[in-house]
Amino acid sequence: MTGIAQTRVRYGYRRIHVLMAREGWKINHKRLHRLYQQAGLNLWLKRLRCRVCAAHRAAREQPTQANQVWAMDFVSDALFNGKRFRTLTLIDIFTRECLAIHADQSIKAERVVEIVTEAAKGRGTPGKIRVDNGSEFISKTLDLWAYQRQVTLDFSRPRRSQDNGHIESFNGSFRDECLNTHWFLSLDDAAEKIEKWRIDSNDVRPHSSLENLAPKAFAAQFALAHRPPKASS
């Protein structure tokens, strides 16, 4: 059942039941529906449009090295005068490094592409990026970027914040330790303070999931431990 759902992402349980019956499975459709729901395979109500790089229901295995899986999301806040702005946060799930936090009044799909392209310089593109169903992430602009670089866009299910739990956790720390502790006098002031926090988060902030190492230190330690041996002369 799960294998069919992952390869035929727009098939509901009725069609899956038909395919399983063709393969010789004898299972009541009501029982299949119950198992289908328990596995979290419910179809989205919103129809998907031409997202060739989407992996809507793929099994989410934990990455085993840097650059396998990134995650990104938006966080909103306000300047001291109440004027709203948005930030795009981008992290590497394995190392917990924050690759970018971009602040602006508006961040459209084209700007999202520019930000992930810049983040990929020097480290390469990831195999997968986990995102929610925001308009900037379901855009053809980002889908084309991902398709050209063989990057899978892994969309979370509606109202399932736990599907992208790493970025949700990061955003919680970002809000608690940065956004809620500063007055931002202007957008430039916000960008400067946010970038200072991002650097500190990467270089200093201990993470319990990384044995209390900072993300940069963990990434360096992991890279050193898994460096291929030198060829003997």
Strands 152-155 and 128-131: parallel
Q: What are the residue ranges spanned by the domains of the chain?
A: 2-38, 69-225
Residue range 170-211, pLDDT digits in tens: 999 999 999 999 999 999 999 999 999 999 999 988 888 898
Number of C-beta neighbours around residue 139 at 10 A: 18
pLDDT at residue 34 greater than cutoff 60: yes
R_g of the chain, CA atoms, integer Å:
21
* Distance (Å, whole) CA 158 – CA 213: 33
Spatial CA neighbour of 90 closest among 54, 60, 55, 126:
126
Look at residue 9 and tell me whether its pLDDT is greater than 60.
no
Residue of higher predicted confidence among 206 and 229: 206
Q: Find, among 104, 108, 106, 125, the residue nearest to 116 by Cα.
A: 125
pLDDT top residue among 226 and 144:
144
pLDDT at 31 (0 to 100):
73
Residue type, 188: D
Mean pLDDT across the stretch 99-127?
Answer: 97
Q: Which helix (H) or strand (E) holds 133?
A: none
How far apart CA 180 and CA 152 sit, in angstroms, is: 33
Question: How far is Cα of residue 96 from the mean position of the Cα atoms in its chain?
Answer: 12
> What is the token pair recorded at 46?
């919103």
Cα–Cα distance measured from residue 163 to residue 13, given in angstroms and rounded to the nearest whole number: 21
Q: Is residue 28 pLDDT above 60, yes or no? A: yes
Cβ atoms of 51 and 146 closer than 8 Å: no
What proportion of the chain, given as a percentage, has pLDDT over 90?
Answer: 58
- Quote the CA–CA distance of 57 and 73 in Å, as a whole number: 19
Residue 42 has pLDDT above 70, yes or no: no
Cross-strand partners of 103: 87
* CB atoms near residue 200 (< 10 Å): 13
Fold classified for 69-225: Nucleotidyltransferase; domain 5 (3.30.420)
